[in-house]
Structure formats: C-alpha cells, structure tokens
RNA sequence: GCGAGAGUGGCGGAACUGGCAGACGCACGAGACUUAGGAUCUCGCGGGCAACCGUGGGGGUUCGAGUCCCCCCUCUCGCACCA
C-alpha cells in the first residue's frame, strides 16, 4: 500500500500522542507492592534540570525503559521512577544572567524536561516524581545530617580546601580534575576555611571490601573505586626528635628498609616545619620552597635541609630532617623516611644533594653498590646491614620490623588510605541548608529535629558578587538559639549537591503521609530488599563521584537505622557517550543533535530505536543521520506490512496447526527462534542492538512468507513481532497491536515464551572441513550417529575430491555444528 | 609510570561457553515500478580472474583460533611524586 493513502499512513506524531494519553489515563506504570510478583527496581541516574534533554538523555532513558517494559511484560512488579537533581550552580548562574530566581528557573526547566520525557514515552511512575530542591525532600537530608553529627560522622574543621575562584566555592577532592574545577575548568587554588566534612574514611575499608561483592558492576568501575580509596598496608614509624620531647611520625609501605634511612622528608605544609626552622638560617630557604610548591605542583625533586635532626628508632643514629617538594601533606602523615637506595624519589634527591645512600636490600643474584647505582632498587630481596634483621627476606622483614616497632612503642603495622573525608560545605545559595545555628553564648548548636526543615528562602536577589545571598538574607540568617533562646545566626553554607543524589534512589519509596519517616518500610523491603536497585543505568563519568558517595551514604543510613541495606545498586550498566564526528556532543563544538527536532521529524519511536540499535549500551554511540533514516524506514515497513497483510492474517487467538509443514513450519520456527534470541539479548546480555536485528529478520521473514503461509501462523509471527518490539517502540507497536484486531492494550500483554518443540530441528546442515579447511556441507538428521554423519560427509563430491581416497587419520563430529576430517 | 578496556568490510556493528567471519543497519552498485523519485520493491556488495588470502603485527596450542597462551604495536579511559 502506498503512503499518503488515508488512515493507513504511519503518522508517528498522532500515534504517539494517542498512546501517551492512554497510558497517563490508566496510570499504566504505577508501581505497587504485590507480594505474589517478583519485584524489579530499574533506575536511570536522574537528570540535572538544565532545561533541555540531549541525546545522552534519550539513550540513557531509552535503555532503562526497555528494561522496565520488558520486565513488566515478564510479570514482574516494576518500579521505574524519575526525579530531578535540582540544586546546583547553573541555576545561580542563570539567575545572575537573566534575573530569574533559581527556584523559578529550575521549576520551569523541570516542566519543560518533564514534557520531553513524556513525549519520549518513557514508562515512569509519575506519581513518585521528586525534586531535590523541595523542602519535603531535603528536610530528610537535614535530619540525616543531624544524626551523622551526633555520631561524629559529620564534623567541622579548619582545613586547607580546594577553592574554585570562578564558582566561588569549595570543591571536594573528587571534583578537582588535573588541578581544575570539574565544572568550569578554572584553576583550583587552596584556601583555609572552616568546613563541614562527612567521615567517609571511617567506611574506607567496608567500601573497598564490598566492591568484591558487586559482581554486577563493570570491573572498570570497581577498579576505579579501588584506586580512589587507595589502601596501602605498611607501618607507622615514630622517630624521636632531637632536642624536643616529640616524635616525627611517618607512614611507609617498606618498613623492611628502615635501616637504609639516611634522611627524613617533610611536606612543606607539615605543621612541624615552622617550629623546626623558626629563627634558624634554614627558615628562609624552606619558606621559598613552600612558596614554589604552592605555585606549581609538578617538576623535579627539590629539597632543603631544616637543620634539625631526629634519631633512628633502632640504631639511635642521627638523621637530618629535610623539606621536600614531592611529599604530600594529604597522604600518610605528611612526612616520609627517605631511603635513597630503595625509593627512586629519595634516590634522586640524595644524588642531587650528595646525601648518603645505604643499601639494605640485596636482590637475588645481584650485588648493589651504592656508588654505582643508577636507580633505586625497589624490588624484593634479602636484608643486609640491618642489625638483627639481616638475612631475612624483605617480605618477612616487613612484618618482623613492624612488630618490633610496636613492641618498643615506636610505631607498628598500619593501613593508610588515599581517600580523604568528603568536604560537603558549599558557599553557595542554591542547595540544602545545613541545619546549624551559631550562638554567641552557646557556640555551634544543631537545629532541633522538630524544627526541620530549615527552609531555603526563595526570594533572594542574586548579583554574582559579595558572596552567598543567604548571608544577606536577614530573615534567614537571624534566628534564636535553640538552646538559650538568645540571638543567633544560621549557617549559610549549603550541602554539596552530591549529598542530594546519594540517597534519592530510596526516596522514591516515600511513605504516602510523609510525616515521620523518610522511607516506607514495606516498599523498601520489597524493592530494595534483594540487595538494592536491581539495575542502575548511567554514564561512566560518575564511576567515582556519585557512585562512591551513594555507596557511602547507604552504609551510613543503614547504621543510622534508616535503611536495611549494605549497597544501593546491585547491577550497574554504564552507558557510553553519544558522539558525533568523533567528539562528544557539546554546544561549544556545534555538533549537537536536538532530540526535539528528531522527535518532530521522525517520532519518539525512531529516536528510541536508533539510540538502542546503533551500538551496544556500554559503548560510545556514533551519531548517524542516515542511521536514523534507516530506523524510520523499518518502522514504516512494519506499518505497511501489518496494514497490508489483509486476509493473510488470522483473527487474534487463532491456533497454529498442531504440526505445521513447509512455509508454515519455517515461519513458526523463525518466530520461536527470534523469541529465544531476543529474550537472551534483552534480559541477560543487555545487547539491544542484536535484539532489534533479530526482530528485523523476523519481519523480513514474515513479509516473505505471508503470501503463502497459513493465516494462523502469520498471526503468531506478527503478534510475536509486536510483543518483542513493545519495549523498544511502544507507541507504534501498541497502535499496530490494536489495528490488527486486539482489544486489550499491548503493554498489559505477556512477554512471549519460546516453544522448545519449535526450536529443535529434525535435520541440520553441517559444514565439512577436510584438514581444517571448509570443503563442503551436508544435511543430515539431527539425531544422526557419528558414523552416519561421516559417511554423509564422505559422500559429498567436494569432500571426496579433497579426501581423494586417503585414509582418515582423525574425525571430529560436533553435533549440529560441524564435521572435521583429517587425512 | 600504575590500572582498566579496545583494535573485525567504505562506516556503525554481529559472531553466547574455540566450530560456516562479516548477522542487522548505513553507504554504494544494478534492475523494477514511474512524468519524476531523495518514495517503494528485487538482486548484488571483504580482497583476488583464479587457486587462494583475509579479524593490529609476530609466534604457539588445536582437527579447527576473531575467540585460548606468549611477545610486540596502536588507540581510548581512569589514577598519577600515594612514601
């Protein structure tokens, strides 16, 4: 049937509007606890409401929707919610630019994006929608904060922090990339500020250990988190300081090299440094080094002596103390014992300044000579010149020496982490207020839980200058001390938005009345009780930041008694980026494809289908305008097939003949083979591209067979096609389902199950190899014996020609697969 | 430097535990229907006239290797003076 002929023309806009309306009317995707059914919680990382969706969103949410819709058809009780990560800096920047308050700007964006998501036909339970900027959301976050404070899991301290001058705020370590702000790429500087922290380091071990149990996460993400946590086993060693009643503590992973120490190196910011050099000739040189380090964190090894000394814990030898540019205050104790013979950095510094090099570990079959070494030996070996430990293997010596230190009260075995506590204060307006009050009389006072929420005022003027507008908002700042009733001021820092996104997955399970607890225990038990969200989907860029914070906060909420959960996300799917012309789509590169335009021109189903077909989810997806055309063509072809099939299609429910033959059998088999393939691809492998390819083959098969096949067999094939396509292109599949005579909606249908009888073949075609090369093929009964198969193979003229009457040295028959003959 | 992943037609990508390399789609070519087609349908489409050769390169295991093992090359991502 030609296009443009009346009602049979596929008009995506009309079809999609119709079905979206019906789904909304029926609340078709409302999630309910149904004890008889398997729970399934599928979640995509919620978006920041920037105002417009981009192709990355289309991809992310299409992937989630396929899973959600397929699981529903499979009979699971599916929870598939959506919300908005609504706090954050862009709202403030927009407010400064166009004078619109962040709250108005944000809510307007949410409205626009919600409409776009609805136009995509994503099957969300819209009744559970949330936004982190609403007081009914962040009041619970404030409660968590207070409980964490009471448990010393939140604390405030003066600290050197990362400061972005452009964003005028503090950044977490995780938000600094190559010395630059993760958002605006400004050079990050250091500042000393009173800051709030979450004690994530208290969970370092558990966060690391539980990674081993997250078998449903990509290895890549687990490795990244492991490296980020950075656990090192070693020893702390305390060196007595000469002339002071104090000890200098260092961390080392190589206590076995203790006898090779020839000097100490301190970080320039080490708190002991000023005391050591004050009023000495070294003071100036140390200050200069510190200044240089502040300016540039890279370069060669530099160091200056402080003139101070400490003593070796075992030998009592005098050891000079240096300050070195490469020693990091943030790691270990900010001080190291320098062993030039066995650490390359110490080696370089020692060589530059003529400091002694003392070999204490000799590698197997070699004899290191300090005068002729070109590099430090960092490998294992046997200890020499190490007192009572001489002769030990270095691995053994590590333990012995650490134990000896512990026995002498001079240190002992310890574990060090790279992970730092999470700085959560932000000197910004558009975030959740930290529920703290400062009273002149009582000092820092937590807001009583009964006074929550501390509501963020929305009537603020943002000028972009003069710090946080909260500080200038008298009605917010000025308050009464909850303890003494006297005048007090509120904390004007707000919480990092990553705090908001660390627990939202659980908030979709909010109780209906919302009065006393943040989560509905029954719903939590049902949808999260099997070990967290069943399938979480989002970009790899959150591998450390969001995913580590969410794991941490989940464990905190568990320990606070809010969630019975060790981990938030059982299975993680990290989807790749959408690329065009080899680069990530971005406004600055001018290679952005607007999903709205795509939907207008081709329809949401085409947009979805392309983003699912062009690449498997975890790979980057190269954009192709022609590829989109191809998907559109396929849907038009499907439309014409179903509408043009006429009397060749039996009414719904028609029974397939008990033992079909010929074309009927072939189509019947193809149908069931496709069911099997698509089910594995969608449910187990999450390879939607090959699932769609399989359905395309079935559609081609139907088009070929329809004129000859029995109408009941065609009906089975068509119905199967539409069922299998329902998760991918729900609108057009629903419309064709209805147009072909069904009255019940497709989304309430069951996922098809392959009939094993239709999957077995009576005859199989097998390729035949002679001496490892393909020489022919034979068709034999599927249950033929090995001898029969070989006989059949030898009967093939091609095979015969290559065997040439020679005796068979070996024969391999792989059932249904192949015959291999060796002569 | 350390860690992870990936190299397959002109392109995106298939090939589950070793078993017919290139499914499906795009692009391209030929034909059909047409006043016309950038619509639709049919056929073709890794290279080579052929024997044969082909999954980054070189070895190996095997009846059989894109897949397993060893060495090397290239690219992408993450961390990066972590003591």
Q: For A591, list phi and psi in degrees, rounded to 5.
A: -115, 35
* For the segment 517-556 of chain A, residues whose CB is within 7 A of strand B: 540, 543-544
Measure, in angstroms, how far nucleotide B61 C1' is from residue A786 CA. Answer: 26
CA A305 to centroid of chain Cα atoms: 46
A808 Cβ within 7 A of any nucleic strand B atom = no
Question: Percentage of chain A surpassing pLDDT 70?
Answer: 96
CB A342 within 8 A of CB A254: yes
CA A327 – CA A22 distance, rounded (Å): 65
Q: Dihedrals φ, ψ of A232, to 5°?
A: -125, 130
Distance CA A729, CA A604 (A): 8
The ipTM (two decimal places) reads 0.94
Among chain A residues 333 through 372, which have CB within 7 angstroms of nucleic chain B? 334, 336-337, 343, 345
- State which H helix or E strand residue A180 sits in: strand A180-181
Averaged pLDDT, A424-446: 94
Count H helices and E strands in chain A, helices first: 26, 34
Chain-centre distance of CA A153, in angstroms? Answer: 24
**Beta strands A572-575 and A535-539, pairing class:** parallel
Phi, psi at residue A41, to the nearest 5°? -110, 110
In whole angstroms, give the CA distance from residue A639 to residue A642: 5
Burial class (CB in 10 A: 0-12, 13-18, 19+), A371: exposed
**Count of positions (residues) in chain A:** 823
Kind and range of the H or E run holding A621: strand A621-622
Q: How far is CA A96 from the centre of its chain?
A: 32
Task: Give yes or no for a cis peptide into A458 (omega within 30° of 0).
Answer: no
Q: Of A165, A158, A189, A178, which Cα lies nearest the Cα of A425?
A: A158
Distance in Å from B59's C1' to A768's CA comes to 28
pLDDT over 50 at A6, yes or no: no
- Strand B atom within 7 Å of A224 CB: yes
Distance, CA of A44 to CA of A63 (rounded, Å):
9
Asked if the model's pLDDT at residue A513 lies above 70, the reply is: yes
**Worst-scoring range by mean pLDDT, A40-54, A123-137, A154-168, A309-323?**
A154-168
Helix (H) or strand (E) holding A697: helix A688-705
Contact between the CB of A623 and strand B at under 7 Å: no
- Does residue A622 reach within 7 angstroms of strand B, measured from its CB? yes
Q: Would you list the DSSP string of A644-673?
A: H-GGGSPPTTPPPPSS--HHHHHHHHHHHH
Q: What are phi and psi of A109, to 5 degrees?
A: -65, -40
> d(Cα A505, Cα A508) in Å, to the nearest integer?
6
Residue A802 CA distance to nucleotide B49 C1' (Å):
23
Average pLDDT over residues A497-523: 93
Higher-confidence residue: A811 or A553?
A: A553
Residues 6+ apart with CB under 8 A from A794: A800, A803, A821
d(CA A476, CA A461): 13
Q: Using the CB atom, is residue A215 less than 7 Å from strand B?
A: no
A810 CB-to-strand B distance under 7 Å:
yes
Q: Residue A770 CA to nucleotide B18 C1', Å?
A: 18
Output the pLDDT for position A174.
64
- Residue A587, pLDDT above cutoff 90: no
Residue A429 per-residue DSSP state: S
Tell me, in Å, how far CA of A625 is from C1' of B71? 43
A780 touches strand B (CB under 7 A): no
A297 touches strand B (CB under 7 A): yes
Question: Which has the closest alpha carbon to A258: A409, A400, A417?
Answer: A400
Exposure string over A52-77, b if 16+ CB within 10 A, otherwise e: ebbbbbbbbbbbbbbbbbbbbbbebb
How many Å apart are A125 CA and B71 C1'? 55
| Cβ-defined contacts of A792-799 (< 8 Å, 24+) | A793/A766, A793/A768, A793/A819, A793/A821, A794/A821, A796/A768, A798/A768, A799/A768, A799/A770, A799/A775
Q: Which of A162, A145, A169, A15 is nearest to A89 (CA)?
A: A169
User: For residue A420, what are the CA distances in angstroms to A161, A197, A199, A269, A740?
Assistant: 11, 10, 8, 17, 61
Measure CA to C1' and name the residue nearest B83.
A252
CA of A663 to C1' of B66 (A): 35
A40-A46-A48 Cα angle (round to 5):
175
Count of CB atoms situated within 10 Å of the CB of A24? 12
**pLDDT mean over A644-663:** 86
Q: Say which residue, A386 or A659, is predicted with more confidence.
A: A386
Q: Is the pLDDT score of A160 beyond 80?
A: no
**A95/B69 CA-to-C1' distance in Å:** 61
Question: What is the spatial distance between Cα A202 and Cα A790, in angstroms, rounded to a whole number?
Answer: 67
Q: Is A345 helix (H, G, I), strand (E, B) or coil?
A: helix
Q: Find the residue closest to B39 using CA and C1' atoms.
A: A3
Is pLDDT above 60 for A7? no
CA of A579 to C1' of B66 (A): 26
Is residue A785's pLDDT more than 90? no
Pair A370, A341: CB distance under 8 Å? yes
Q: What is the mean pLDDT of chain A?
A: 90
- By the 8 A CB rule, do A412 and A238 touch? no
Provide mean pLDDT across the span A756-764: 84
CA of A770 to C1' of B31 (A): 39
- Å from A633 (CA) to B14 (C1')? 21
Which nucleotide is the nearest neighbour of A696, by CA and C1'? B24
Protein-nucleic contacts, chain A 237-276 to strand B, CB < 7 Å: 251-254, 267
Q: Which of A278, A258, A273 is nearest to A303 (CA)?
A: A273
Output the pLDDT for position A365: 80
Q: Quote the CA–CA distance of A400 and A20 in Å, as a whole number.
A: 71
The pLDDT assigned to A782 comes to: 79
Give A291 CA → B73 C1' in Å. Answer: 43
Q: What angle do CA A186, A86, A184 make, to 5 degrees?
A: 10
User: What would the DSSP string read from start to end of A122-136?
Assistant: ----GGG-EETTSHH
Q: Residue A190: what pLDDT?
A: 75
* CB-neighbour burial class of residue A489 (10 A; exposed 0-12, middle 13-18, buried 19+): middle
Find the Cα–Cα–Cα–Cα dihedral A187, A190, A193, A196, rounded to 10°.
70
* Å from the A702 CA to the B31 C1': 24
Dist CA A149 CA A146 (whole Å): 5
Residue A256 above 90 pLDDT? yes
Average pLDDT over residues A302-310: 94
* Cα distance between residue A605 and residue A106, in whole Å: 28
pLDDT tens across A58-104, in order? Answer: 999 999 999 999 999 999 999 999 999 999 888 888 888 888 889 99
Nucleotides of B under 7 A from a protein CB: 3-5, 11-16, 19-21, 23-27, 39-42, 52-53, 63-65, 77-83
The sign of the CA dihedral A581, A582, A587, A589 is negative
Confidence check: pLDDT of A3 > 70: no
Confidence of residue A337 (pLDDT cuts 50, 70, 90): very high
What's the confidence (pLDDT) of residue A5?
A: 41
Q: Based on C-alpha coordinates, what's the Rg of chain A?
A: 34
User: How confident is the model at residue A173, as a pLDDT?
Assistant: 66
Output phi, psi for A272, to 5 deg: -80, -20
Cβ contact A607:A731 at 8 Å:
no
Tell me the three-class secondary structure of A75-125, residue by residue: CCEEECCCEECCCCHHHHHHHHHHCCCHHHHHHHHHHHHHHHHHHHCCCCC
**pLDDT of A589 higher than 90:** no
Residue A433 DSSP symbol: B
User: Which tens digits make up the pLDDT trace of A674-716?
Assistant: 999 999 999 999 999 999 999 999 999 999 999 999 999 999 9
d(CA A623, CA A739) in angstroms, rounded, equals 33
Q: Is the pLDDT of residue A298 over 60?
A: no
pLDDT for the residue numbered A4: 39
Query: d(Cα A77, Cα A38) in Å, to the nearest integer?
Result: 6
Q: What is the nearest nucleotide to A257, using C1' and CA?
A: B83
Q: Per-residue b/e over A787-799, b at no fewer than 16 CB within 10 Å?
A: eebbebbbebeeb
Q: What is the DSSP letter of A214?
A: -
């Amino acid at each position: 049937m030609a296009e443009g002929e009346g009602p049979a023309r596929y008009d995506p806009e009309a079809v999609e509007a119709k079905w979206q309306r019906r789904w909304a009317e029926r609340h078709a995707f409302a999630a309910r606890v149904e004890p008889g059914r398997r729970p399934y919680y599928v979640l995509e990382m919620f978006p920041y409401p920037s105002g417009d969706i981009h192709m990355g969103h289309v991809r992310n949410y299409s992937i989630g929707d396929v899973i959600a819709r397929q699981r529903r058809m499979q009979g699971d009780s599916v929870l598939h919610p959506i919300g908005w990560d609504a706090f954050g800096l862009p709202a403030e920047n927009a407010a400064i630019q166009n004078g619109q308050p962040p709250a108005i700007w944000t809510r307007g964006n949410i409205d626009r994006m919600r409409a776009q998501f609805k136009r995509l036909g994503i099957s969300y339970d819209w009744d559970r929608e949330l936004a982190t900027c609403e007081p009914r959301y962040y009041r619970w976050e404030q409660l968590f904060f207070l409980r964490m404070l009471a448990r010393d899991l939140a604390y405030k301290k003066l600290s050197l922090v990362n400061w972005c001058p452009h964003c005028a705020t503090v950044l977490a370590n995780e938000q600094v990339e190559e010395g630059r702000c993760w958002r605006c790429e400004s050079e990050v500087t250091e500042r000393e500020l009173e800051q709030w922290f979450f004690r994530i380091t208290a969970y370092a071990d558990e966060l690391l250990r539980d990674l081993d149990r997250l078998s449903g996460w990509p290895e890549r993400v687990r490795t990244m988190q492991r490296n980020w946590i950075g656990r090192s086993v070693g020893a702390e060693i305390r060196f007595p300081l000469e002339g002071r009643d104090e000890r200098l503590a260092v961390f080392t992973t190589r206590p076995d090299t203790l006898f090779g120490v020839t000097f100490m190196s301190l970080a320039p910011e080490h708190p002991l440094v000023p005391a050591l050099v004050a009023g000495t000739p070294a003071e100036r040189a140390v200050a200069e080094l510190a200044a240089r380090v502040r300016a540039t964190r890279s370069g060669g090894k530099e160091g200056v002596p402080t003139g101070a000394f400490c003593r070796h814990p075992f030998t009592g030898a005098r050891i000079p103390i240096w300050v070195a540019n490469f020693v990091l205050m943030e790691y270990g104790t900010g001080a190291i014992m320098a062993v030039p013979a066995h650490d390359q950095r110490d080696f370089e510094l020692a060589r530059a300044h003529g400091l002694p090099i003392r070999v204490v570990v000799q590698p197997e079959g070699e004899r290191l000579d300090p005068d002729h070494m070109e590099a430090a030996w960092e490998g294992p070996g046997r200890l020499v010149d190490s007192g009572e430990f001489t002769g030990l293997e270095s691995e053994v010596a590590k333990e012995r020496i650490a134990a000896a230190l512990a026995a002498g009260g001079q240190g002992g075995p310890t574990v060090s982490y790279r992970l730092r506590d999470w700085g959560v204060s932000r000197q910004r307006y558009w975030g959740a207020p930290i529920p703290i009050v400062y009273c002149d009389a009582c000092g820092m006072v937590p807001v009583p839980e009964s006074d929550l929420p501390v509501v963020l005022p929305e009537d603020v003027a943002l000028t972009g200058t003069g710090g946080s507008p909260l500080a200038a908002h008298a009605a917010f700042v000025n308050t009464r001390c909850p303890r003494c009733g006297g005048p007090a001021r509120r904390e004007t820092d707000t919480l990092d938005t990553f705090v908001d996104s660390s627990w939202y997955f659980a908030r979709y399970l909010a109780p209906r009345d919302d009065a006393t607890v943040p989560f509905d225990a029954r719903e939590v038990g049902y949808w999260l009780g099997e070990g967290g969200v069943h399938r979480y989907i989002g970009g790899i860029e959150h591998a450390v930041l969001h995913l580590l914070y969410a794991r941490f906060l989940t464990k905190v909420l568990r320990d606070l008694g809010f969630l019975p959960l060790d981990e938030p996300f059982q299975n993680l799917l990290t989807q790749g980026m959408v690329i065009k012309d080899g680069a990530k789509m971005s406004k600055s590169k001018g290679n952005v494809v607007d999903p709205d335009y795509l939907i207008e021109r081709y329809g949401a189903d085409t947009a979805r289908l392309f983003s699912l077909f062009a690449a498997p989810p975890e790979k980057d997806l190269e954009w192709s305008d022609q590829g989109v055309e191809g998907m559109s063509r396929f849907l038009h072809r499907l439309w014409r097939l179903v509408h043009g099939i006429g009397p060749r299609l039996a009414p719904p429910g028609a029974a397939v003949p008990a033992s079909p033959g010929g074309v009927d059998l072939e189509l019947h088999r193809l149908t069931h083979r496709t069911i099997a393939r698509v089910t594995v691809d969608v449910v187990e492998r999450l390879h939607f591209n090959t699932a769609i390819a399989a359905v395309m083959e079935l559609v081609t098969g139907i088009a070929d067979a329809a004129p000859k096949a029995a109408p009941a067999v065609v009906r089975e094939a068509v119905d199967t096609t539409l069922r299998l396509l329902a998760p991918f292109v729900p609108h057009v599949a629903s419309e064709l389902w209805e147009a072909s005579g069904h009255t019940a909606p497709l989304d309430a249908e069951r996922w098809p199950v392959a009939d094993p009888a239709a999957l077995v073949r009576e005859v199989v075609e097998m390729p035949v190899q002679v001496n490892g090369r393909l020489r022919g093929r034979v068709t034999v009964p599927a249950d033929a014996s090995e001898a029969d198969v070989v006989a059949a193979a030898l009967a093939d003229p091609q095979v015969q020609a290559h065997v040439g009457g020679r005796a068979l040295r070996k024969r391999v028959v792989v059932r249904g697969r192949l015959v291999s003959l060796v002569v």
